[in-house]
Structure 1
Amino acid sequence: MKSMGRSYFWWPSIDSDIERTAKCCTLCLESRPEPQQCILTKWPKSLHVFERIHLDYLGPINIKMFLIIIDSYSKWPEVFEVDNADTFNTLEKLKETFARFGLPETIVSDNGTPFTSNEFSQFCETNGIKHLTSPPFHPASNGAAENAV
């Protein structure tokens, strides 16, 4: 569009003017091609309970946050009410869960600060847990936890 416009006209800010017009043009927005959807691949099927868990936070609801833990094998949800979605509360609730069910092999979470802090990484490394994060702005990659939210 810009090259066609430049072939007929020219002024110092023609590129930015064309971009601004195209962003506001209803016809241009309706006829532009949709961004290509990425192909989703499924997580490998878990072979036993707590092999892989998915984590996410829900909230705030009435000033409370809820840590959602989903076991990928049984689809069993564990939900904990916490005051703040921070690393300390996350690790405390994970320790409580792991005391009942054992350590998982893999944790899948989004890129939220409770899950990407040094303390969380150290906790996973110390306990031999592989931590995977879903890509930013693609919550479907952590579908098990996102569906619960």
Structure 2
Amino acid sequence: MTQYSYDIANLKEKYLYTDLNHKIIVPDDISVKVINQIHTMLGHCRINKLYYSIKNFYLISNIKGKIKHVVSTCSTCMINKRQTISYGKITGFIESAQPLKKVCSDILGSLINQFDKRKFYILTITDVFSRYTLLTILYQINTKQVIKAFENWFHRFKRPKEILTDQGRQYISEEFNTFCRFNGIKHICTSVYNPTGNSILERANQIISSLSPEEIIFNKSRLDLLERTRKINLESIATRIKQAADSENQKSNAKRKTEFVYEVGNFALVKNHNRSKLDPFYIGPAKVVSMHRNNNVVSLSLHGIVWQENIKNLRPFRIRPSINKIHSFNSSKTPAHGTTK
């Protein structure tokens, strides 16, 4: 039995008083416990159903506020029910102020060669600024092959300052990290289960559509038979790309109903990406231990394991205060863990 538990059969023995409408009057000091018990009895129903179920038989002061508190802080509901509200504001984007300073890489496949039926993969290396992309066909995907592809990029161009990848085993191996450190490159991994983390803004391709990636990298076009060097205004391109990214973020955030700012020490529930039909929708609560990348990514700790997660995969975990603190509960101040704007 928890501090929120209560056997409503006790009402019949100790508190059976009714009003003029023959509704049972519930004393204020046990009202939240009674609501919580009925919420559990009715299979953790939502706010409206719980409200209309209770109001027909019980008279409880500030009933709507207390019901909202009970349902919104119910750990069983938070873990096992699908979230209908998107929390957290998305900020920032993958950017670079100059060509060849930052590249991103990914591995596509496996694919099947239609001629000899061999399985193969495609490793992509893309300059973030120009979108110039080098494709490498691999018949084995291991760290040595990935490093060889990057060495080819270095030979053709130069070493970038940063490499952005997902958390594929070839990229997070100690061998690849040693390769990056030896070449003075900062390796950044995207958070897991965030398919947009290593994507490049589509509208940016429209911004630079008047120039081919080749023109931006080499300042000339193979279509120009006179082989003239073009003067490219890189600052103008970078500014327009940022404006397009800000516009895309604004559209995305307009769909996210609630801006929730996670802070170190908060607790959050993590979307269960590998659930079966009977598994809970969320795992946790996990503790927020640090923030990264414009607060879009958080480091979480659960059962001694620390990992990073994009805020798109989280929902706030609301901790119930002591029952003694909510006898005069105010419906306008629903207890929450974190900051809602």
Flag whether TM exceeds 0.5 (same fold). Answer: yes
Query: How far apart are residue 86 of structure 1 and its match?
Result: 1.4
**Map 1:1-149 → 2, pairs under 5 A:** 7-8=37-38, 33-47=84-98, 49-62=99-112, 63-144=119-200
In the superposition, the TM-score normalised over structure 2's length comes to: 0.35
Partner-residue secondary structure (3-state), 1:60: strand
SS at match of 1:55: strand
Rg bigger for which structure? 2
Q: Which protein has the bigger helix share?
A: 1
How much identity, in percent, do the aligned residues show?
22
Aligned length: 132
Name the CA shift for 1:83/1:4 in 2 (closer, same or farther; >3 Å). farther
Indicate the SS of the match to 1:81. Answer: strand
Residue 60 of structure 1, CA deviation: 0.6
Q: 1:110–1:135: 8 Å Cα contact kept in structure 2?
A: yes
The CA deviation string for residues 78-103 of structure 1, in whole angstroms up to 9 with x for no partner, is 11100122111100111111111111
Distance 1:4 1:143 in 2: 50
Q: Contact 1:66/1:80 (CA < 8 Å) preserved in 2?
A: yes
Q: Which residue of 1 aligns with 2:260?
A: none
Q: Contact (CA 8 Å) 1:46, 1:72: kept in 2 or not?
A: no
The ranges of structure 1 where at least 4 consecutive aligned residues each deviate by more than 4 angstroms after the TM superposition are 3-6, 17-20
Gap regions ≥5 residues in structure 1: none
Separation (CA, whole Å) in 1 of partners of 2:127 and 2:34: 55
Q: CA RMSD in A?
A: 3.0
Contact 2:162–2:187, Cα closer than 8 Å, also in 1: yes
Segments of 5+ residues of structure 2 without an aligned counterpart are 1-32, 45-75, 113-118, 202-341
